[in-house]
């Protein structure tokens, strides 16, 4: 990793993420009476818990409001879950104020055009390798993992390594 990227990773005190196309593949399965379903990668959940335990909260900022996203946020203890909001910049401002952070202490993981305003402001802008070209151009790091396949896990591990906390997490499993 580039030295600049390591510095950006080490400053992260809040990780914001889009949901559809990042934590999921972006496919929506319709036909169930209760609405559509989503599949979330278990490794993203593990990384979320490790980040939280290390003092780095994770926030969901999704343009689509679904029961599946709400349930996943509840399962992971995500306090900041914003859904049905395509205009995401006011949410970033709200989160920065709530946590007392400057933009350069926040990371955002996004994949499509509605994430651009956040990606252009945060200290660490990341996207999965299958994000749209405009998002890739705005990011500090194109993570070599596709959306829905553990991209948050890769970002979370990199943040924790840059903060010198990864070895302690691994040691808990020895």
Name the nearest CA neighbour of 24 among 128, 142, 174.
128
11 domain residue, yes or no: yes
107 domain residue, yes or no: no
141 domain residue, yes or no: yes
What is the number of domains present in the chain?
Answer: 1
- Give the domain CATH number at 127: 3.40.50.1000
Q: Which contacts qualify for 135-141: CB closer than 8 Å, 24 or more apart? A: 135/110, 135/111, 140/4, 140/5, 140/8, 141/5, 141/8
Per-residue pLDDT of the chain (174 residues; tens, 9 = 90+): 567 999 999 999 999 999 999 999 987 777 666 567 888 999 999 999 999 999 999 999 999 888 889 999 999 999 999 999 789 999 999 999 999 999 999 999 999 999 999 999 999 999 999 999 999 999 999 999 999 999 999 999 999 999 999 999 999 998
Structural domain that includes position 88: 3-96+114-171
133 domain residue, yes or no: yes
């Amino acid at each position: 990793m580039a030295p600049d990227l390591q510095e950006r990773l080490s400053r992260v005190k809040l990780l914001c993420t889009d949901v559809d196309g990042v934590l999921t593949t972006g496919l929506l399965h319709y036909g169930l009476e209760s609405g559509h379903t989503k599949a979330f990668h278990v490794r993203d959940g593990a990384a979320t818990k490790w980040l939280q335990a290390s003092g780095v909260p994770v926030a969901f900022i999704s343009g689509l409001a679904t029961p599946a996203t709400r349930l996943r946020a509840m399962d992971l203890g995500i306090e900041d879950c914003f859904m049905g909001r395509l205009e995401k910049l006011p949410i970033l401002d709200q989160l920065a104020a709530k946590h007392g952070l400057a933009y350069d202490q926040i990371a955002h993981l996004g994949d499509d055009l509605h994430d651009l305003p956040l990606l252009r402001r945060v200290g660490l802008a990341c996207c999965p390798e299958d994000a749209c070209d405009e998002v890739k151009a705005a990011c500090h790091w194109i993570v070599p993992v596709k959306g829905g396949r553990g991209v948050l896990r890769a970002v979370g591990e990199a943040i924790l390594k840059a903060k010198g906390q990864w070895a302690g997490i691994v040691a808990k499993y020895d």
